[in-house]
Chains A and B, each alone.
Chain A
Amino acid sequence: MSLIGAPVNRVADHVLLTGNARYVDDLQLAGMLHATVLRAPVAHARITAFDASAALALDGVVAVFGPEEIARHTEAQLCTWLISGQKIVSVPIADTVVRHVGQPIGIVVATSRALAEDGAGLVLVEYAELPAVTGVEAAVAPQAPLLYPELGGNVLADVDYGDPREEIDRVVAGAAHVVERRLEVPRAAPSAMETRGVLAAFEHGSGELTMWASSQNPHMTRWHLARVLRLPLHRIRVIQPRLGGSFGSKDHLYQDEAIVCLAAMLLRRPVKWIEDRTEHFTATKHGRGGVYRARLALDADGDFLALHADILGDVGAFPSTVGTGPFQVTALMLPGPYRYRAVGARLVAVLTNATPTAAYRAYGQNEAAWIRERLIDEAARELGLDPGELRLRNLVTAEEMPYGSSASSRSGCLPSAATAMSRRWSWPPENSNG
């Protein structure tokens, strides 16, 4: 019997449906302690004092580690997906400079989560606030506050993609019609139903660290942990229990997760930390976030001549491990399945005083599709053309295959596929009775 076209039940549904699935917060180890992460309540500041004595005096609080102590015990985490000329290539696990609300600055470990939170309320942290900048356009404006004054600006990288810019500009200049728009894609908080969480256990003697993590990328997490915690790779095991959703947000080792592992090592006790929902909105990397000034040039017949986007990508307070990756994908996917004489994008990746951005749901691709297709719709409206016809006219055909665009299909069936789809979903609307 073929499975193709037949309804198929997933093999582990009965485990999930009966409440037997084990997510990270469902695990307990003997002697386990509970942690809460201390987070910055301000967007940009220097920490001038950190005093945990009142917290440590509370019955049940086992340890408090602040930014300096954490930094002493850890190496900076490497950015693994780099872009040409990227000005920051590693990020400290804890820092005395705060660059976004929610940045982890320490950890409180106690015999229960409630006690850890009681202790967190007693830690005195003094901040010397600095002017903050959010939003990519504000961050590249003259006199904008600088996140890293030593860089001389808030631009992390500036890279061109596709055909030479002069050629694109020349084609645009000679076009009968140019549609240009400033488009904005807001940030998104991934918000998987299960927040992030870690249970870490360090075996004294063997020096082996076991980390159970709500992670979608345990191997990469292990690789990063080894460097950050100065452990040989073979002494680290990262176990991924059931995962309550991720959407890309659990693709990284986060600083706070490394801090939980460090606490388990220093205390020689298993330590569990479960992110809470309010933390999640500032602590878990956001998706998207960009401003796109994009233009589509057409000739008098409606043939596409050029497509170009100036991308201002919101990196946030520091590059995540995938860094500018999502914006690079937007630049690369921008052409889509159409033909142009010249096509490209410029990516200016911008640092802002906000949560770092990273992978989220087919990252970069949605933005590319939206920018391109929005311009096509706008062009159709301005030129009085049918948007479906305009697309069909410009789709790469079978005869043109293989076509040198980054995102085009190899099969060459795009026009016929588009026609079939428009029939299937009654589009364009005037054909809806057809």
Chain B
Amino acid sequence: MRTIKIVVNGTAHDVEVEDRTLLSDLIRHDLRLTGTHVSCEQGVCGSCTILLDGRPVRSCLMLAVQAEGHEVETVESLSGGEATPESLTSLQRAMSDQHGLQCGFCTPGILMSVTAAQRDGLDAEETIAEVLGGHVCRCTGYRGIRAAIRQVLP
């Protein structure tokens, strides 16, 4: 066990973790930010994608100890902790408008990747071709997700 310092969604935490604790488990089970989901634990599906120092990465493929001194953003940060239809970001709103989600399990990871793409100034087609490729959704068939990305990105 060791204590690490990590900033998650703007809040600094000192948390005790085992060497083998995955960052995804630290976020979900220790910090209780359960919006980040785990579906494959081998980096394939993208459900656990978070932003590490602003870049989308798989939280299941990092040890929690590796996040020491880094800044993490999760889906909970997007709408400032609010959870009303009015508090949604333009991207979250677009996902709802375009039926870009059904069960919602893959959605947080997609939101984080596309949010980073949005900040980096990527256009819709680049985001769909490159960024969306890193996410698996089993409900929507991706059509709604692509439409949502086109609704918010140039």
Contact = CB atoms under 8 A, between A and B. Distances in A.
Interface of A: 7, 9-10, 13-23, 25-26, 28, 114, 191-195, 242-245, 247, 276-277
A242 B107 CA distance: 13
Contacts of A243: 103
Contacts of A25: 28, 34, 38
Contact of B87 (A18, A28, A114, A242): A18
Contacts of B104: 13, 15-17, 21, 242, 244
B138 A16 contact: no
Contacts of A22: 34
A20 B83 contact: yes
Contacts, number: 110
A277 B95 CA distance: 26
B88 to A, nearest CB: 6
Contacts of A114: 18, 20
B96 A13 contact: yes
Contacts of A15: 83, 104
Nearest to B103: A245
A118 to B, nearest CB: 10
5 contacts: A10-B99, A16-B103, A17-B92, A17-B95, A244-B105
Nearest to B44: A277
B41 interface: yes
Contacts of B74: 19
Interface residues on B, range: 35 or more
Contact of A17 (B99, B102, B111, B139): B111
Contact of A277 (B39, B97, B99): B39
B132 interface: no
A19 B34 contact: yes
Interface string B95-128: 1110101111111100100000000000000000
B106 A193 contact: yes
B72 interface: no
Contact of B136 (A10, A13, A19, A193): A193
B33 interface: yes
Contacts of A21: 35, 104
B45 interface: yes
B37 A244 contact: yes
Given A7-B97, A114-B20, A191-B138, A14 B39 contact: no
B61 interface: no
B149 interface: no
B59 interface: no
